[in-house]
């Protein structure tokens, strides 16, 4: 049987709905707005060159570290934390400063500032924390850890937490950022010397 002859049928495309035109125009406008915003932010960045404020440990000292006959940890430690604002054109405000110091998983101290504080353009503020821990009872394993640290003359603490920073970026308004610290502080307990290493909220 021969195939039936094919006929070409012309079907006009359905007319584009009015709402589709609206959506298309809206999308174009939105894209243009995004591009303009991008250019403004880029130019603002190049002109103002904003820098994220940074907190870091700049110095520390371990005055005392041992446990007594009853297995209670006694420690005295000094930590200097710097809040740095590298912006040439903007003051930075810091708030909710909160750092926690751990030894062997035990939180032994909380370093915090009650009030928000300001750091002027291109400058820094140091906080000097002198901390004498509350007497902390240790488990037998933790006492062994202390003995081991004292024997190798190196003791490690963990410092974790951060601060909320806010600074103005010219016409672009105010930017908020959480500077977080998470580092290990090492000391020679025999003489209390801090083994200095990088401890900063700045991205590596």
Nearer to ligand NAG, 162 or 192 (CB): 192
Q: Does 196 contact ligand NAG by CB under 6 A?
A: no
CB of 190 to ligand NAG, least distance (A): 6
CB of 136 to ligand NAG, least distance (A): 25
Binding string to ligand NAG for residues 59 to 88, with x set by CB under 6 A, is what? -----------------------------x
CB of 95 to ligand NAG, least distance (A): 24
Any idea which residue has 């290990």 for tokens?
184
Q: Does 153 contact ligand NAG by CB under 6 A?
A: yes
Q: Does 122 contact ligand NAG by CB under 6 A?
A: yes
Q: Give kind and range of the element (H or E) at residue 183.
A: strand 174-188
Q: Does 188 contact ligand NAG by CB under 6 A?
A: yes
Yes or no: say if 81 and 111 are a contact pair by the CB < 8 Å rule: yes
Instruction: Give the torsion through C-alpha atoms of 165, 167, 169, 175, to 10 deg.
Output: 40
| Spatial CA neighbour of 55 closest among 79, 78, 93, 81 | 81
**How many Å from the N-terminal Cα to the C-terminal Cα in the chain?**
78
Nearer to ligand NAG, 164 or 186 (CB): 186
Segment contacting ligand NAG by CB under 6 A, of 1-9, 70-78, 105-113, 187-195: 187-195
CB of 62 to ligand NAG, least distance (A): 11
Nearer to ligand NAG, 76 or 193 (CB): 193
d(CA 153, CA 165): 37
Binding string to ligand NAG for residues 84 to 113, with x set by CB under 6 A, is what? ----x-------------------------
| Beta-bridge partner residues of 175 | 167
Return the sign of the alpha-carbon dihedral for residues 22, 25, 31, 33.
negative
d(CA 84, CA 91): 10
3-state secondary structure of 90: coil
- Tell how far CA 123 is from the center of its chain: 19
Query: What is the binding site for ligand NAG (CB under 6 A)?
Result: 88, 122, 153, 188, 190-191, 193
């Amino acid at each position: 049987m021969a195939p039936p002859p094919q006929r070409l049928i012309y079907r006009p495309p359905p007319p584009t709905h009015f709402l589709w035109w609206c959506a298309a125009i809206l999308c174009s406008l939105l894209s243009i707005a995004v591009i303009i915003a991008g250019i403004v932010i880029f130019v603002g960045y190049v002109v103002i060159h904003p820098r994220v404020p940074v907190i870091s440990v700049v110095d520390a000292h371990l005055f005392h570290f041992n446990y007594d006959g009853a297995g209670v940890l006694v420690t005295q430690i000094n930590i200097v934390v710097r809040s740095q604002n590298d912006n040439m054109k903007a003051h930075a405000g810091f708030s909710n400063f909160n750092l926690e110091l751990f030894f062997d998983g035990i939180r032994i101290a909380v370093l915090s500032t009650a009030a928000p504080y300001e750091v002027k353009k291109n400058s820094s503020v140091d906080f000097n924390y002198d901390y004498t821990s509350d007497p902390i009872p240790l488990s037998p394993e933790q006492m062994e850890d202390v003995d081991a640290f004292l024997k190798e003359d190196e003791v490690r603490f963990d410092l974790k937490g951060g601060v909320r920073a806010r600074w103005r970026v010219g016409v672009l308004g105010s930017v908020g950022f959480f500077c977080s610290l998470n580092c290990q502080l090492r000391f020679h307990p025999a003489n209390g010397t801090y083994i200095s290493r990088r401890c900063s909220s700045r991205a590596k």
